[in-house]
Structure 1
Amino acid sequence: MLERLAIDKEYLVRQSVAENIKTPVTILEQLVRNEIDNIGATVVKNPQCNFQIKEIIFKSFGKSQQPSLSRLAVFLTDYAESEDLAANYNSTSWLERYAISQNSQTPDDTLKLLAKDCNQIVRATAKESLKKRQSLLNK
């Protein structure tokens, strides 16, 4: 029954499934993966929500189209996926570009673009990241 309710078109129905303490972890994960609206905020409050589900929710912030504190937090961690870092190298937020320039998951091509950024801090950080990678390769 909960499986069917988890894919209901009505948000309030899915929210009720997310809040239900008897909802199995597999269904909570399904709700998060099929997120149409911000159901993750409700899933996190469920006592059944485990680390893996929280990790999925956290990583999803990096896929957001709008600069945000949540997205910045992801870009500052190793949880950020390299394709998300590369896709957001031209963010309107210099803080996000800085986070991308210092992240070890950022592709070299993206760092080269950031090394020409209009922001001095972003530029310097990207150049330093490239230099560190080069020195590791030379060892």
Structure 2
Amino acid sequence: MDLLDILILVFTALLLCLWWRYSSTNVAKNLPPGPRGWPLVGNLAQVILQRRAFIFVVRDLRKKYGPIFTMQMGQRKLVIVTSSELIHEALVKRGPQFATRPPDSPIRLIFSVGKCAINSAMYGPLWRTLRRNFANELVCL
């Protein structure tokens, strides 16, 4: 390798380090704290490398960060809620605020039947109809 190749490699590595540092510290200020993730994969690699069930990883993180914390799985940020009181607050008292689904990747759109499934429909009349049909079918079983 000549000097130009080495300089390009060092410059690229420096840019990647700066980008990672900037992207990991420039998160939304209103998210709860959580473990710092790796570039591109977030906390996914950390969870896999522990070789334990996800629930045990969450229990350990709860001891460190409290009943609500943020994790990053790939490029998606997750807010993990582990307290029954906070879960009730989010899903029952403030249900419509938390019912909308995040924007999907093109691959998920393919597997979600064009967002006409109960797990992928946006909150609204379609979702309520799907939920009602699902509940009726579940009761009939």
TM-score, normalised to structure 1, is 0.29
**Structure with greater proportional strand content:** 2
TM-score, normalised to structure 2, is 0.29
Q: Which structure has the larger Rg over C-alpha atoms? A: 2
